[in-house]
Structure 1
Amino acid sequence: MRNATLSGAEFGETPALDIGAAVLACSYSLDGQWLAVSFDESEESKGNYHIKVYEAKTRRLKWLFKNSKAHKYKSLAFSPNGRWLASADYGKRISLWEVKSGKLLKEFIEHNKAVYSIVFSSDNQWLASGSHDKTIKLWAVQKNGTLTLRHTLEGHSDAVLSLSISPNGRWLVSGSLDQTIKLWNLKLESGQVSLSQTLKEADGGHNHSVYSVCFSPDGANIASGSFDNTVKLWRPTKSKVSLAQTLEGHGDMVSSVAFSSDGKRVIAGGVSGGVTIWNVENSKASLHQRLDGHSHAVSSVCVSPDGTIVSGALDGVIKLWPLKNIRGFPYQTLKGHSAKVSQLSFSPQGGWLASASDDKTVKLWKLKDKKATLGQTLEGHEQCVSSVSISSDGQSLVSGDSTGTVKVWKRERNLGMVGHSDVILSLSSSQDGELLASGSFDQTVKLWRLEGRELSELRTLEGHNTIVHSVSIAPNCDFLASGADDGTVMLWKPKDTEMEGCKLKGHKSAVYSVSISPNNEWVASGGVGNTVKLWSSKTGAC
C-alpha cells in the first residue's frame, strides 16, 4: 500500500503523504471524509497521470483511478453531498466518478482544449468547467451522475484557469491567463446567465495571470492569487465587486488560494514551495504565518472542515498542517531509508507503519499523537525490498524482495524461504496468520503456511501467463484472488489441491489490484483504463 510516508514530518505538521510523483491538484470532500489527489508519475514525459482517493482521517488509500489516456488531471472537485468526484484533464475530458464504489460513471468532452478547472454548486445540481479554449461551460448534474451541457460562457480572451461558485449559487467567479477576474450572474432556475463585471488592473486587479479564485464559505469575500506575487481580497455587493485589500508577504508567484472552513484565514501556495496564511477576520487583514516545508513549487492548497491545511507540491509530497495549533518552525525531518521507499503497510490498529526500501531494509515506525519515531530496522534481504505487509493480528510482518525471496518477521527472528524466481509484487496474509499468498514477476502465485516459526511452501498456482500484480486471501480462507498484467482475475481454492483456478475475464488491460469483501461474497478488481469491476465469488459473474 504505497499511500503514505513519514519523510518530512515536522512540528506543527502531521506526517506527510508521499505520493511519489508530482502533485497536480488536491481536494477535500465537504464533509472531510475524503481527500483526492491527482499526480504525475511520468518518466521522460511518458504520461502516467492518475488520481488517488484517501480516507482523510486515517490517510489510507481507498481508490486509485488509473488514467489510460495519458493526459494530466489538472483539477478535482467533490460534490458537496460526497457522492461524486469530478476530474478535469488536459485531454478536454471531464470525468465523473462515484466515490462510494470507485466506479467511473462517464466521461464528457465538450471543450475544444484542456480543461483547467471544475467546481460544483452547493446544491449538487450544477458543475462549472473552465478551459484553455477561453470558455466556461455550465453542466446540469443528473441524479444518476450524467452531465448535461446547458450554457457556454464566452468573455475571457485567454485560458480560464480557476472557477468558484458562491455558496448561494447566484454568482460564478473566474480567473484567467488574460490577467482578469470575471463575475457572472447565475439565474439557473430561469436559464439566464450573464457577465456582471470584469476586474482588471485598472480596478485594483492583478497585472499577471490569475491562477486561483475562491469564495469564502459565507460568500462575503473572494480571494484571488496571481503570478504577480500577490493575493487580493475582494468584497462582493449586490451591485458590484470592489477590492478590499491586497495581501502582502507571500513573496513569490501564487498558484493556489483557499479559505479556512470558518472563513477567518486565507491560505496561499506558491511556486517557491512556501505556504502563507493571513488572518482576515478583522476589517484589515494581517499576515499570520509563513510555512516553509516543500522543496518544490506548491501546486495546490485546500482546507478540510476540521481545519487541516493540505498542500501538494511538485516534489511529490503532500503536507498536512493543523491550522489551529500550527507552529511551522522549527521543524524536524525524520530520516531513515537511504534509497527509494517501494511500499508501505499499516498495522490494523494503526500504531505501526512498515516501510520497504531499495536499501534492502524494512523499517518499523511507531505512530503516536501524530508523531513518528523509528522503532526498528529489519535487515536480512540481499536485494531491494519490493513488498511488505503486516498480518491482521499485528504479530507478524512479511517482506518480499527483487530476488523472489519472502521473509517472515516475528518478534526478534525472521524466517526466509526462496520460492519465486523473480521480483515479488504483492503479499497477502490470512486473518488467522497461518496462510500467506505471494504474487510475482515470474507469473506465479505461491501459497505458504506459517506454523510457529516454520514457513513452508504449500503450492505454486500457475494459470496466469504474465506478471501477477496483486493477491488477496478471503477472510474465511476458502479462496484467494489474483490479478495479472494480462487483464485476468483468477480465483483459487487453497484447500483444493486439484483445482487449477477459475479465470475471470473482463478487463481489457492490466489488473493492478484485487480485494475481497468482508462477507467473502464479492471480489473487486481495479485495472488500467479507469475501470473497477465487481465479481461474484460464487459464480464469477461481473
Structure 2
Amino acid sequence: MATKGPPKKKIKKIKTTVEEINDVKQEILGTVIAQLKSIDGEATGSPLSLPANVTPEQLELLINQLLNNDEPLPYAFSVDDKEITNTLYNDIIQGLKKSTEDVLTIVYQPQAIFRVRAVTRCTSTLSGHTDAILSISFSPDGAQLATGSGDTTVRIWDLNTETPHFTCKGHANWVLYISWSPNGKILASGSMDKTVILWDPTTGRPLGDPLKGHTQWITCLAWEPQHLYGTIRIWDTTLRRVVMNMSQHTAAVTYIKWGGDGLLYSASRDKTIKVWNATQGTLIRTLEGHGHWVNTMALSTDFVLRTGAFDHTGRIPKDENEAQEWALARYKAVVGNKPERLVSGSDDFTMFFWEPSTSKKSIARLTGHQKLVNHVCFSPDGHLFASASFDNSVKLWDGFTGKFIASLRGHVGPVYQVCWSSDSRLLISASKDSTLKIWDLKTKQIKLDLPGHFDEIFSVDWSPSGEKVASGGKDRQLKIWRN
C-alpha cells in the first residue's frame, strides 16, 4: 500500500503588477512634506505630504489641479536647481542627499505647450556667396532667411524652393551683421565699410542711400522692440538721419542690445557696459567688473523682442496696432514680475549676470570657462542661458540666479555660436571643428551630431517656428537643416 508523501506547502502568491510593486515601494520609501512654489517664489497651496517616489508626471497632474487650469499644461519641477526627471526619491533624496524628514521646496515652471523636433538632416546646400558667410538670420515670422558675407553682399533666400531670391549689392566691404526689424518688413546690414544699409526684403533693393556716420566697422545692430514703436547711433529709419550719438565709451563698442523697457545697452573694449535711456540718449549707469574686452551680451527677453507679434501658431496681426498689442502681451508674459536680466561675456574668460535696470552691481560673477567667452544666449522662456567659448565647450546657467548647471562637451574646436529652439528644450552649437551639435537640455547630452560643412561654422540660426536651422561659415555654403 503506497504511503502518502509529506503535505505540500502552500506558496504565497508574489505581487507582480506594476501598481502593486509601486504600493510596496511607497511603503518602503515613505512620504515627504513638500511646498510647491512658482518660479517667481510664490507658494501654491499649503505644504503637502507626497509619496517619496512621486514622478514628474504625477506632480504635473497635481499642479494643474491646484492651479485650476482648464487645459492641462506641461511643467518642469526642481529642488535646489536639480530637476526631477525620474522620481523625487532618485533625483532629490538620493541625488542631493536629502532626508525624507526635510521639508522640500519644489519649484515648478511652465514649459512650452508645443514641442520642437530636432533637425536631423541637411536638405539643401546653397552656393552663391564667394566668401565666408558671417551672419545668418531668419525673419521674425520664419518665412524668410538672410545671410551676410565677406563677399560684400547680403542674400535673401526663398525657403520654399531653397534657392537665392535676391542678391543685395551696395556695401564695399565685408557684411559683418544683419538684423530684421521685429515686423519683418526691413532688413538692416552693417559692414566694415562703416555704413548701414536698409533693404526691402520683397524686392531686394535698398531703401534709400546707405546710412553714414560711423568712423569704424559696424559690428552689431539693434532694432527698437515692436511694443515700444512710435518707428551705438540711433537712426530714424524714416527720416534717414542720426537721432542721437552716444559716445562715452573710451574704446570700440563691440555689442549693443535694445531692451523691452526702453533701455539701451552697449558693451565695449573699454571693459564696461553702459546703460542708456533710449528716448533721451542719456547715460543711466555704467556696469563695471570685466577685466578685458566685453565681447557679447544677451537679454532674458531677446527671443520675444526679436519675434515681436509672431509666435509658434503662425497667426498674423491684421494691422500695426494689433501687432503692437500682441508683442506687448508676449513681452509681459516672458518678463512676469521680474526685471529684464542681462548676461555679458568677455575675453577675461568670465561672465557677469546683471539686473541693469535696477542696479549697477552684478548679481553674480560666472567663472568656469578656460578661454574667452565668444557668445551668450538666453532660452526663449528666459529660464536658462548658454555660453560658447574658445575652450571648446558650451556651458548652461540658471536664467534667474546665474548658477552653473552643466558643461556640454563634444566639440574639438572653439565654439562660435549657440542658438535655442523656440520651445527652449534644445540647443544647437556651431564650431570651428566644422560640426553642428544639438543638445538635449533634459539629459544635458548630445542628441545629434550634424557634420557636413567643410570648414569653420561662423553662424547658425534656428527658425522661430522650429522647423528649420540654417548654418554657414568659412566654406561659403549655406546649409538648411530639417527634421
TM-score (norm 2): 0.47
Structure of higher CA gyration radius = 2
Structure with the largest fraction of strand = 1
Higher relative contact order (CA 8 A, sep 6+): 2
Structure with the largest fraction of helix = 2
TM-score (norm 1): 0.42
